[in-house]
Amino acid sequence: MRKIFITGISTGVGKTIVSAIVTEALQADYWKPIQTGSGEDRDSDTIKKLISNKKTIIHPEAFCLPLPASPFAAAEEQGIKIEIKNIAVPQTDNILVIEGAGGLMVPINEKELMIDMMEQWNAEVILVSQNYLGSINHTMLSCMALKDRGLKVVGIVYNGEDTLMAERSILSFCDFTVIGRIKPESNFTPGKISAYAKKFSL
């Protein structure tokens, strides 16, 4: 089973939108293992609203935690402990798109990070970057961490305004492929997701 893990250089950089685009492009299944801030709309609900193909199955979360914080903090607030070995990956004959929580170094417990999840599940990775002050540093650090772990990286998606100088700076040190770009949008629709899906290099 091919697994593609969508991660970001930080929180709020567009992982869910990219997950929707990749899910639609590949007509893949979707899974969010750990949802924090579950009192608000869940990411799986957003995916359901944005995709239009009939093949995708949206698998239920392993953990839904009310506190909008790291999985470690949100789980501790509920008096539980999350361990990767105890999370059962959904079995499917389809490609499985997995959306992470936050970035690579977000803690799951005292010893495990989100990047450990990608490694233990032998998942390919798509990294979502967004331009803001400090994003070059965050993107390069994320690229270095992925390379150090020897993880297979499908490529980078840039979300937001084009910043060619920032991209040049990143790509001069990080040779990952740019597989797509997303323009700033205030209202994504299934039609827009479908249009982006046709443009992504997957």
* Residues noted as catalytic: 32
Q: How far is CA 153 from the centre of its chain?
A: 12
Which one, of 156, 132, 131, lies nearest residue 142 by Cα?
156
Residue-wise DSSP of 152-182: -EEEEEEESS--HHHHHHHHHH----EEEEE
Q: Is the separation of the CB atoms in 96 and 126 below 8 Å?
A: no
Main-chain dihedrals φ then ψ at residue 94, nearest 5 degrees:
-95, 170
Phi-psi region for residue 81, left (φ > 0), alpha (ψ -120 to 50) or beta?
A: beta
Which one, of 186, 190, 182, 123, lies nearest residue 152 by Cα?
123
